Structure 1
């Protein structure tokens, strides 16, 4: 038996709709600029005929679940919300076709890709990676996972919204994604042996903006369990 110098961190898990078993999180892939209107509001444009999907990763240990209260993160004065459709895998994929990837999808959830936007802007100016802006404690908020056989609404054309303190800030449809779920999974599987437990956050519609201490966020996607998050008051 291997002896560890110190205790290994626990496996991050998420609840599954109507199940006692939990979903163990392995990795989190995050797609950027997958809605044209959001890309435009961030000062970018996307030409699908000339560009590949753009993505980054978040640590599984930075994932939290539904109805959590988190502190306002350090070293930022411009903390942003991004609501996203999350795809959960329960089978491996490597160099898969678009048809094959659909067989590996376990289910779907609502997610928040939280972002320190001011740090991201500095990283972009210096052509640095975005880790301090995107991959920090509590930066990936994922709701209850709905197994695909229990989802009656097509995730290819589902309404997606985010409200703060009861006021809608983001509103769109997954039909406006530049790359579909199948296209995204097939693309990422060219570079990685995707595994059971991997999560793919598929990008956010327009309307991203600042979160303040004391705010309560609610993310909703048709056919899925809503996702709530509270930012602790100072």
Structure 2
């Protein structure tokens, strides 16, 4: 559509230029000294359009681009090039992080990762996720779905504000292990954990578990060293 509009504009510009050149030719015929007053850099404008070379056409196109104040149609832009919607800061609820995320992600593309429970095959993951997508489509949520592993999915959503409603649906499904949005993980029914709809930082729990293991090892090492010293003292006595 944008290309058609550009061609139409070029046609109108060329028509206007042709009429202008005809009028200029008449005026120049009446005043033989006109050419002497025109700068060399502007003489191309006085040429008959049928005599235009590639350089002249390029100059004409650049001039048209400089004078074109019309903004592109947002519908013709990709989701990544569309202008971000203005956010009314007065409506931001700082006590509700999810509501804030929905508002800031509105109209912007977002990716969501979903893991399934039960060690499914790729075919099972395709079948289960296809059913989920159909149910969400019936609820007016449209997105692209990709199976990226035996138990792993990628959802590409054009409007980021939908991601949290989609997430709420998914974590309530028996085979959904977890959903990850912006490095935050939400556990589903298939995880064996309590579905509390709370965001957890990816890797934070693993780091905490590792910290506990290291603390336990350190404790055992100290106990062993203490027992060794006690044994040595007894031997001395």
- For normalisation by structure 1, the TM-score amounts to 0.19
Larger strand fraction of residues:
1
| Structure with more contact order per residue of length (Cα contacts < 8 Å, sep ≥ 6) | 1
Larger radius of gyration: 2
Tell me which protein shows more helix as a share of its residues. Answer: 2
